[in-house]
Amino acid sequence: MSKYTAKKARQTPPLSAGRLREGWPGPAGTRIRLARPQDAEAADVLMDTTGDGVRFMPVLRAAIEDGTAASTMLAGLGAANPNAYYDAAAVAFTDRLMNEALTTVCLTLVATDAQDRTVGVLSATAPGTVIDMATNHGLDPDKAMALSLFIAKVHGLAVAEPARGHGIAATLLKRIWQVYQQLGYQLLYGSYEADRNLGTFYSRNGYTVHAPGASFSLERVALPFGLGAGDDQCMFARWRPRH
């Protein structure tokens, strides 16, 4: 077998919507899967334990509870039509109010234990700050909204204290990146309080970590501004590899 064939054989098969809903076995007997309506309360409470004051935005929590969160993303996963994701987004962005439409491209994964209790959560959202900045720089509002189809923000990541130390947070990051990569996203970013010393964790998981208060450029996605945070915050970012 040639090196090329061996490499191709090891490639991860495309995800389907069913796989995302069903999930994957995770560390320490957990299961990593898309958040379901019954997970919303526990996941929301768990995110609040990070100390960053992070909770679900009310419109996103409502979407998780009614099963419409990430619906545009689910439509694009594993679809025979390569434009299915963008077609679904066009419908959602036309038929819904902006905040409701954006929940269809927000992705929340949970890690559950053997009793199906939520012991970990990662919620990634549309990049509201980027959309607002793009609009303020004169970008057409519809085009600014479309930025949510290739840029996403890690809004919250938390693991229950008894479940820490097993790699659950890293696995949540791995799986959410897998989804975004398949859908063609260019950037996943977020921030954390500098005194939490999470730089090594994010660096180890493929993210570039910026110094407290530093910003990074968005020229790679043709935006004439950068993203930064306050002096007490560190930004982290992972770009799609250049080919």
Q: What is the value of pTM for the model shown?
A: 0.93
Looking at residue 50, its pLDDT comes to: 84
From residue 80, alpha-carbon distances to 77, 150, 197, 236 in Å are: 9, 20, 43, 34
Using an 8 Å Cβ cutoff, are 172 and 202 in contact? no
Q: Is 8 a residue whose pLDDT tops 60?
A: no
Mean pLDDT of 25-41: 98
Looking at residue 5, its pLDDT comes to: 47
Looking at residue 243, its pLDDT comes to: 72
What are the pLDDT digits (tens) for 81-96?
Answer: 989 999 999 999 999 9
Q: Is 155 a residue whose pLDDT tops 60?
A: yes
Looking at residue 68, its pLDDT comes to: 97
Contacts of 134 (CB under 8 A, 6+ apart): 143, 144, 147, 223, 225
Q: Is 150 a residue whose pLDDT tops 50?
A: yes
What are the pLDDT digits (tens) for 50-81?
Answer: 877 789 999 999 999 999 999 999 999 988 89
